[in-house]
Amino acid sequence: MKLDKQTQSDLFDYLLRLGDDRLILGHRVSEWCGHGPILEEDIALSNIALDLIGQSINFLSLAGKVEGQGRTEDDLAYHRDALDFKNLMLVEQPNGDFGFTMVRQFLFDAYSLLLMEALQASELKELAAIAGKALKEVRYHLRHSSQWVLRLGDGTEESHRRVQNALDDLWMYTREMFESDEVEQRLVQKGIAVDSTSLKSGWESMVFQILKQATLEIPGEQGYYSSGSRQGIHTEHLGYILADMQFLPRAYPDAKW
């Protein structure tokens, strides 16, 4: 891969964003393994976690190659600290109840579907290939999460109340998905990255339609929105995930399993 210094550093950063979103969400979802409300959901969530972690392996492994320092996907997952993680704050939020997990998943899946679709046209063919592969899985995830949002939103009084609360709590983390910065813009110019701002209207029409059908109230545009995770700013929750996820390989660097 022949890249100039600036593009190499931008691309490394961009691939970390893509990889970290899926790594952290995959880790979160995997926390349901053995705790699912019914057996089928336990299996479904474990499958989804596995897909997400598989996708993150692809993005992080490519990041390592682009960086050219010999770092593998494992090095990047286990030996970076919170400030170096570039995932959205949305995906690091604790699972809450099952409804909360499904709303978080739904908001992310709709975004991921549009992003993977668009990334298939990337000039960087390795990146386009990973996106095309992930897209098939994301379709299944979105089908699953949107069906649960519908069932719970348009379900009992209690399920409706719970998912409405989840939606209200998570809404402040949604705007970040559609924020762009210099790193991304330079890669957009080169035809490598997707402009995040271009995904907003498609996401809104998809998400709003399901939320309406689910009889849920769409939170207003006003209110506080968090920002900055692409630059390494996170909520307090990320540190705990990393402590859990990174403890073993750091404490026992030669461990094999």
Q: Which is nearer to other proteins, 98 or 234 (CB)?
A: 98
Q: What is the DSSP string of 148-174?
A: HHHHHHTS-HHHHHHHHHHHHHHGGGS
Please report whether residue 21 would count as binding other proteins according to CB under 8 A.
Answer: no
Quote the CA–CA distance of 94 and 51 in Å, as a whole number: 19
Tell me the two tokens of residue 195. 């402009």
Min dist CB 133 to other proteins, Å, is 4
Instruction: Decide if residue 48 touches other proteins (CB under 8 A).
Output: yes
CB of 137 to other proteins, least distance (A): 6
236: number of Cβ within 10 Å:
8
Using the minimum distance from each CB to other proteins, give the nearer residue, 146 or 229.
146
Interaction mask 188-207, other proteins, x per CB under 8 A: --------------------
DSSP symbol at 222: -
Smaller CB distance to other proteins: residue 52 or 90? Answer: 52
Residue closer to other proteins, measured from CB, 56 or 229: 56
* Site size toward other proteins, by CB under 8 A: 34
Shortest gap between Cβ of 42 and other proteins (angstroms)?
10
| Cα→Cα distances 121→35, 124, 135, 138, Å | 39, 8, 13, 17
CB nearer other proteins, residue 224 or residue 257: 257
What is the full DSSP assignment across 177-196?
Answer: GG---HHHHHHHHTTSS--G
The DSSP annotation for 32-76 comes to TTTT-SSHHHHHHHHHHHHHHHHHHHHHHHHHHHHHTS---HHHH
Q: What character string, x for contact with other proteins (CB under 8 A) and - otherwise, covers 56-75? A: -xx-----------------
Q: List contacts with other proteins (CB under 8 A).
A: 40-41, 43-44, 47-48, 50-55, 57-58, 113, 125, 128-130, 132-140, 142-144, 146-147, 210
